[in-house]
Amino acid sequence: EAQVTQNPRYLITVTGKKLTVTCSQNMNHEYMSWYRQDPGLGLRQIYYSMNVEVTDKGDVPEGYKVSRKEKRNFPLILESPSPNQTSLYFCASSPYRQLPAYGYTFGSGTRLTVV
């Protein structure tokens, strides 16, 4: 089944403790992206990647890192999480050249709470 898999689904952590949210897709998509979703603010793009080793900042990149060493994986790293990073996070992928027409396939989300 074609899908985007995120792990974990739920995570509670403490301020300052480094964490990684994994994202993997099995559709051979070039384009991958991370979003956070907050009430009233909608989905905001954190980082995106147009292909292996090519990443760029979205609208809210502060406090996050990403890497794209393989086409299928696009992990999101929080080096020193803070409470304002408590949010619902989504990973998404698409064939790059076809993003405007094809759209995204989203993962099921990771609900992160930083205390």
Partner 1 sequence: TQLLEQSPQFLSIQEGENLTVYCNSSSVFSSLQWYRQEPGEGPVLLVTVVTGGEVKKLKRLTFQFGDARKDSSLHITAAQPGDTGLYLCAAVTDSWGKFQFGAGTQVVVTP
Nearest residue to 115 (alpha-carbon basis) of 17, 6, 7: 17
Decide: is 108 part of the binding site for partner 1 (CB under 8 A). Answer: yes
- Answer yes or no: are the C-beta atoms of 13 and 114 closer than 8 Å: yes
Decide: is 21 part of the binding site for partner 1 (CB under 8 A). Answer: no
Q: Strand, helix or coil at 38?
A: strand
> 29 to 48, contacts with partner 1 by CB under 8 A?
31, 33, 35, 40-45, 48
Give residues in contact with partner 1 (CB under 8 A): 4, 31, 33, 35, 40-45, 48, 50, 56, 58-59, 90, 92, 96, 99-104, 106-109
